[in-house]
Every structure is written in structure tokens, then in C-alpha cells.
Amino acid sequence: MKKMTGAEVLADMLAGYGVTHVFMVPAVLRRTFAEMERRTAIRRIHTHGEKSAAYMADGYARASGRPGLCMAQVVGALNLAAGLRDAWLARSPVIAFTGGREPRTKFRQVYQEVDDVPAFEPVTKLNATVDAVERFPDMVRQAFRVAVSGAPGPVHLQFRGNEGQIDQEEAEMEPHCEPQFARVPPFRPDPERASVMAALKLLQEAERPVFVAGGGVRASGGGPELVALAERLGIPVATSLNGKDSIPGTHPLAVGVVGSYSRESANRVVAGADLVCFIGTGTGGMTTHFWAVPKIGVRAIQIDIDPEALGRNYPLQAAVLGDAKTVIKHLLEHADPTTAAGRKPWLESARASAREWYEKYRPALESAAVPIRPERICGELARHVPEDAIVVVDTGHAGMWMGGMFDLRSAKQSYLRSAGHLGWAFPAGLGAKCACPQRPVVTFTGDAGLWYHIGEIETAARWRINTVTVVNNNASGNQSKRGFDRAYGGQQTEQARELWAYTKVNFARIAEEMGAVGIRVERPDEIAPALARALAADRPVVIDVVTDIDALAPTAVS
Ligand SMILES: Cc1ncc(C[n+]2csc(CCOP(=O)(O)OP(=O)(O)O)c2C)c(N)n1
């Protein structure tokens, strides 16, 4: 072992784990940044706020399966913790480093300091302090190990010193890395054979089974195997929002996203099933429309890598513990395709539901209305987003529109969505692009969502992080309209609009001012040409689509 500074060790280890970008407001671990420049090719993305830095790291992690790194000095630590909340909800492996307290000055009203550690507790799998420089190697290894293992999730390390000045100290250290933990999943635990055979028997004997695939399928890369199994047994596939890219929306067995931000056909098929097979989904409120679709008591099977998830919300006929891709492979190996014949009527009715949905919504998806309907944006994106695109979607209305109305066309396309935080998508899209620079990244957000981190347009332009951001600009957060109608006992007052409406703003002009390309779209036939121009640009692009403030997304059926 040789004498090294903490900064040298940290720089070498992050490079050793394959980290290509870190995201932060950089008044932290400054010596480490200097060592990164000297010793590595890591890009230090200097953002306009810690929350957006965390969202960028999250987008990076979800797009690549590799941990995303974000950092904050002590005074920004809680901004960073706030940004880990979505990663926590989405099981995304984000690693957060913050500056922390000096034992010598604790409890003396030292500038900017509070005890931040407890605030990380609810949003991390590991929340730890690094107080002695010789602990850098083992703590960094543990951070990676925990972030990617089992159900992945965020990790926080607080480094001693408000700016993590401990990185300047020296000790005998070895910057040893474990490449196995550089990405999700580090292990693919094999299921018990008996549990696989029990699940398969139930699937094969069921008349009306359905798969509900969640984020665990995407984390394990099990989409192709799931599609193969569904085809072999003749079973329709619904997904959670987080698992939307487990099967292309255009696949004949796909019925759509089930739950609250969903597609009617998916909810109808899942509600009509006599057996629901949940794979890699937490069976949470959004995916099940708060446990109404399917109803609790339905015959159910669950496959998950986390034993504590099995049966949490639905009593099970069979529980399979293991990596989703591995379990599905085992099911495929033993599946008897002749059993599919008995499910033909069910499959026909599931397909009819999917077709009915298209018939019902085709006029909206192709609407020529001005101001533009959001459904038309979804229809255009489904047709024109490139074959290998990463589509990143905000929550609220954006999640409803795209979850329900947008179809992925190819297994090579990815879909990342906010797990609930408005404003997540734009910075997350930037992180996704950093992780996968060769792939087009198309972000869909409302204007309320874009306002949150609008300053990061400048970050995108400065670093040439060339995402295409499509803004559903209705000068409002009009998803809230229904909520305020209810709050006012039926119909809100005119004045209540001040609770959800904004000034009309041209985001294309704002984008141009910050060094991005801005394109304003006011007619639906301009959307496709705008996308084509944006995808060919060598700068980040904001496509500002002026839409109908009265357009409300359909609510879930149960
Ligand atoms: C951090 C956070 N705060 C508040 C909300 C609640 N919320 C959900 S959607 C929404 C408004 C969405 O507005 P916009 O993105 O413009 O889409 P629109 O409804 O106009 O289509 C709000 C305030 C949230 N999801 N996350």
C-alpha cells in the first residue's frame, strides 16, 4: 500500500467503477475535483442547484444501470436529500456525497451547519459518515455495493468537513474497486425450482392470466424474456409506469400501463383476469390504482428479488424469489406452448380491448385542433421518436398523457419516468444523455415541470448535453383543475385559477437566450418537423408546444 490522499483515492475509485460524470454545485470535495482533472476523464457537471444535480444522477443511473454520482457541500445537503426522494421511490442507484461536520466545531453555531444525516435516512439504503481518511476505500466500495444490490436504491456518504476537506488528508490506502458492483444487477440469484414450477403450473392452468411487469423487469433487463414467455403461453402483458419499456406498446400482447396513470385497456384486462402475475413491481398504489385494479383477493403470483415485497399487498398462490430475468428464463425453459390454446378467447378479448382503446382515442391522437391537444403530441412522439431513443417523462399530467397515450415501438427504446416529483424529467433527461451519449434523449414535460429547473438549460448548453425537451405548454398546471373543482364543492371560482395558472411564456425564446435551440410550435403539423430538426441539432433543444389549457387527461377506470 502507498500513501495517498483521500482525494486521489476517491478520484481513482470513481474512475475504477466506470463513473463518467458527476453532478453537483461544486463547493465540496474540491481537492477530489482537482484530482479528477489530473488523473481521470470524469466530467464534472456543475449545475444550478443540488436537487437538479440529484435528478441528473438519477437519470444517469436509470438510463445506464450504473450508479449516478451527485454531491453537495454542507449547506446544500438537504437540497440534495430532497432530490434523492424520487430515486428512492423508483429504486434507482444514486450515490450522494456531502460535506459534513468537524468534531472540533460541532454544536458551536458554526457557519451553515446543521445535522443533515437524519434527513437522508428516509431516502437511502445506506446513510453513513466518513470520519477517518483511511475509511475512504471500504466506504466507497460499500456505497457501490449497497446502491446496486437487491432492489437498488440511493446511498449517502457524509465526508468530514463542511466541504469534505477530509479528502486532503493522507493515509496508506489501496483504491481497490469491485467491478461487479459497478452496475445493476451485481447478482442474478436463482429461484428455488419448486417455486418456479408452482408458478408455471398456475399460469398454464389459468384461463385468463395477465402479466404485470414493473421496474424490476427493466432493472434486470428481462424485457425480451418476458415477451418470449408471453408469446409462448399466450398471455397479455400490462406494465407499471416504471416498467413501461418491458414490452413495446405496439406488440400484439401489450395492453398498456395499468393503474392510475394508465390506459383503459390495461385496467380492463387486469380487472378481468383470473390470475395476475406480478413481476418486479412493488404492487404499489399507482400501479394498482390504489389496490382497485386488480382487487385484493384476486389469484396472484409474484416474482421479485426482494423477499419482503412478496405478498405485501396481494395474498399469493405462488411466490418466486429471484432475479426477474433469471426467473423468466426458467419459466420459459419449462413452459408448455400447447397450453396456450385454452387461452385463445381470453387473448382475443384482451386484444379487442387494446383495439377499442385505439379506436376511441385515434381522433385525439390525430387531432388537428389548435391550440394543440396533448394527445396529438403523444401520437407524434410515438411515431417519430427514434428506434433507440430514451424517453424521459415528468409526473402529473405529463405522466398521465404519456403513460396512457404514448407507445414505444421498439425493444431498443427506453422509458424513464418521474416517480412522483414534478420537475424531475428535464434534469433527469440531461443525466440520461450523459450516461448514453450515443442515444437520442427525448424528454416530455409540462410547463410547470420545466419551471422547476429551467436554469439547467444553461447547464445543458454549456456542457453540450444535447437532449430534446418537448414542453406541453398550456401556461398552467392544469392537472390541478379537477382537484380545485372538487375543493370548491363542484366548480371553482374564477379567482381559484390563480392556484394553477401562470403567465404565458415562450420557452423557445428563453432557451435561445441560454444557448440552446428553441423551437416554438403552434400547429400540430409542425410537431414532426420540429422533432426532426431538434434530433439533428448539435445543441440541446427545447420544443415549446402551445397547447389547450382545457385539455384534461382521462382518469383511470377501475
Ligand atoms: C414536487 C411536487 N410538487 C407538487 C406536485 C403536484 N403536482 C402534480 S402535477 C402538478 C401540475 C403539473 O403542471 P404541468 O407540468 O404544467 O402539466 P399540466 O398539468 O399543465 O399538463 C402539480 C403541482 C408534484 N407532483 N411534485
pLDDT tens track for 263-296? 999 999 999 999 999 999 999 999 999 999 999 9
pLDDT at site 1: 83
Instruction: Kindly give the distance from the C-alpha atom of residue 76 to the centroid of ligand 1, in angstroms, as a whole number.
Output: 24
| pTM beyond 0.85 | yes
Residue 496 pLDDT more than 90? yes
Peptide bond into 554 cis (omega under 30): no
Length of the chain equals: 558
What is the arithmetic mean of pLDDT over 466-491? 96
Measure 168 CA to ligand 1 centroid, in angstroms: 43
Would the pLDDT of 154 be above 90?
Answer: yes
User: Probe ligand 1: pick from 405, 422, 485, max atoms within 8 Å of CB?
Assistant: 422
pLDDT of residue 345 exceeding 90, the answer is: yes
For the Cβ of 477 lying below 6 angstroms from any atom of ligand 1, the answer is: yes
Asked if 500 and 481 touch (Cβ cutoff 8 Å), the reply is yes
554, with CB counted inside 10 A (0-12, 13-18, 19+), is: middle
Q: Whose CA is nearest to atom 24 of ligand 1?
A: 422
Task: Note the pLDDT of residue 60.
Answer: 99
- Determine which residue's CA is closest to atom 18 belonging to ligand 1: 477
- Comparing C-alpha atoms, which of 464, 447, 442 is closest to residue 392? 442
For residue 401, the CA-to-ligand 1 centroid distance in Å is 13
Q: Count the Cβ atoms, other than its own, within 10 Å of residue 486.
A: 11
Q: What is the pLDDT of residue 144?
A: 98
What is the pLDDT averaged over residues 156-184? Answer: 98
Q: How far is the CA of 522 from the centre of ligand 1 (A)?
A: 22
| Residue 206 burial (CB count, 10 A) | 23
- Over residues 28-78, the pLDDT tens digits come to 999 999 999 999 999 999 999 999 999 999 999 999 999 999 999 999 999
- Percentage of the chain lying above the pLDDT 70 cut: 100
- Helix, strand, or coil (residue 525): helix
pLDDT averaged over the chain?
A: 97
For 343, which DSSP code?
G
Ligand 1 in reach of 540 Cβ (< 6 A):
no
**Signed CA dihedral, 482, 486, 492, 495: sign only:** negative
**Does the Cβ of 83 fall within 6 Å of ligand 1?**
no
